[in-house]
Amino acid sequence: MKFSYVTAILLLSINLFADESSYKDAIQSYNAKEFAKAYPVFEELSLKSPANAELNFFLGRSALELKRYDEALTAFDRVLMLNPSHTRTHMELARLYYETGQLELSQGELDLVLKENLPQNIRDVALAFKTRISEQMKRHTFGGAFIVGMGYDSNANNDIGRKEFIIPLFNMPIEGNEKVSDTNLFATFVLNHSYDFGDRKGWMLESSFVAYTKLYKEYGENDLSLFSLSVAPTWSENSYKLSFPLTYDRIFLDNDGYLYNLSSGIRATYMLSSISFLEGGYTYKRGYYDEDKTQDSNSHTISASYKRAIGEDPILFSLNTSYVQTSEVNSGRTDVESSGWRVGGEIAKMFKNGVRTSIGYTRNETDYEKFDPLFQAKRSDERHEYEFGLGYSLSNSIMLNATLSYVENNSNQDPFNYDKITAITNAIISF
């Protein structure tokens, strides 16, 4: 009996030491945001000590970060049974209910939190969260932006410069046009509206209207105006969002009707975590030209993008790609039917003083399907775009931006080889 008693004491000590070591490992993983690694350890420890509020809280937090909402709710309920006034748990429950579309329950948890004697910074966070929920509970929501700016283009007409090239069919040398630079003024107005059918995180109707105009100082034939209207029935639930946009675009060039597009498609968004998401979709577009019907086309576009915030003082990282296949409606041109890839990326950083910097690169490859007898080849283009951006937030609704970019277009048909430098500055007022 004495041996058994001593053995039991030793085993208990070993278990306590092992549990303490496991707890430290779990906390280390939790602090490193490795929630998938921390969760099973907290789960095992909480099964051994179900009355430990701290273990259940960390278990609930880890489950919430992993979008395991049922497990998170169970863990938080155990915390509140042990300590009904645990403010942090009520805050986390408000987030859980918000992410699962239970906005009334989320507001109820925040009301409990706001009854407590909170530090001012915590109270401000809770009040801002409650305001955001109140806005989302409205059936109709509006938002938008007004953008005004000016730009410079070192090669406004995409000319190749004063250099000779050969037209293979006639073996004839031709001199290209001189590059011309120009400045422009532009303005954009965006109005967004959404209507919630009452399901909260269920069906809603999202619509947007965009008006854009650009006026050149020297070459008015490049003046551009665009109007776009889009309506998208949208379904969202938890981490998923699915929309079916229908869009009408109208484009005017030098104040004359130039083109209109009709398009439809499907777009899906999936939140991988609170700091990253995937987005992808398909779009069908029909283009109608006012003057030259031989340019009319059908196109199919498949696109995908990935965005992520890296680090505690985050750097925003994004990748995007798309594939476009275009077919002619009327025969007669060699520069309509084509297929091409677009791949790009951007790294951006928002600093605490309101300054935002970004650097981006995009590569486009387009191969045309028809043989061009004039150049004795099918046209193939490769385009590189390099961009640097700098912005400054004057307030939550006003931002100033400057962007400098360099574009290089390479083609196996000499008239389409060109490069340019563009620079723009603008002010964005959002509402």
Q: Residue 201: what pLDDT?
A: 59
What tokens does 159 get? 């000319």
Task: Tell me the β-bridge partners of 418.
Answer: 409
What are the tens digits of pLDDT across the range 188-201? 999 999 988 865 55
Q: Residue 23: what pLDDT?
A: 86
Averaged over 361-386, what is the pLDDT?
95
Is residue 394 very low, low, confident or very high in pLDDT (cuts 50, 70, 90)? very high
Cα 13 to Cα 31, 41, 48, distances in angstroms: 27, 19, 15
Q: Residue 200: what pLDDT?
A: 54
Averaged over 321-342, what is the pLDDT?
95
Q: What percent of the chain has pLDDT over 70?
A: 95
For residue 344, is pLDDT > 90?
yes
Q: Residue 104: what pLDDT?
A: 86
What are the tens digits of pLDDT across the range 254-284? 999 999 999 999 999 999 988 899 999 999 9
Q: Which of 10-24, 43-57, 208-222, 351-365 has the lowest mean pLDDT?
A: 10-24
Is 237 or 56 the better-scoring residue by pLDDT? 56
For residue 390, is pLDDT > 60?
yes
Measured CA to CA, the distance from residue 42 to residue 30 in angstroms comes to 10
For residue 173, is pLDDT > 70?
yes
What are the tens digits of pLDDT across the range 350-373? 888 889 999 999 999 999 999 999
- State which amino acid sits at residue 328: E
Give the residue extent of every domain in the chain.
Answer: 2-136, 140-430
Q: Residue 199: what pLDDT?
A: 54
Degrees, nearest 5: CA angle 365-367-372: 140
DSSP 220: G
What are the tens digits of pLDDT across the range 145-159? 999 999 999 999 999
Q: Residue 259: what pLDDT?
A: 96
CATH topology of domain 140-430: Porin (2.40.160)
Q: Residue 136: what pLDDT?
A: 73
What are the tens digits of pLDDT across the range 276-304? 999 999 999 999 999 999 999 999 999 99
Q: What percent of the chain has pLDDT over 90?
A: 65
- State which amino acid sits at residue 342: R
The CA-to-CA distance between both ends of the chain, in Å, stands at: 78
Cβ(379)–Cβ(414) below 8 Å: no
Is 189 or 129 the better-scoring residue by pLDDT? 189
DSSP 158: -
Q: DSSP readout, 233-265? A: EEEEETTEEEE--EEEEEEEETTEEEEEEEEEE
Q: Which of 14-28, 306-320, 366-380 has the lowest mean pLDDT?
A: 14-28
Q: Which of 1-5, 45-49, 153-157, 377-381 has the lowest mean pLDDT?
A: 1-5
For residue 14, is pLDDT > 70?
no
| 224-237 vs 182-196, strand pairing mode | unpaired
Q: Residue 9: what pLDDT?
A: 39
What tokens does 253 get? 């060039």
Measured CA to CA, the distance from residue 5 to residue 16 in angstroms comes to 17
For residue 171, is pLDDT > 70?
yes
For residue 135, is pLDDT > 90?
no
Q: Residue 39: what pLDDT?
A: 92
Q: Residue 420: what pLDDT?
A: 97
Q: Residue 19: what pLDDT?
A: 66
For residue 240, is pLDDT > 80?
yes
- State which amino acid sits at residue 359: I
Cα 400 to Cα 107, 342, 393, 395, 404, distances in angstroms: 35, 28, 6, 10, 14
**Ranges 99-113, 163-177, 332-346, most confident:** 332-346
DSSP 294: G
Instruction: Please tell me the total number of residues recorded for the chain in this structure.
Output: 431
Q: CATH classification of 2-136 is 3.30.460.80, yes or no?
A: no
Measured CA to CA, the distance from residue 275 to residue 14 in angstroms comes to 39
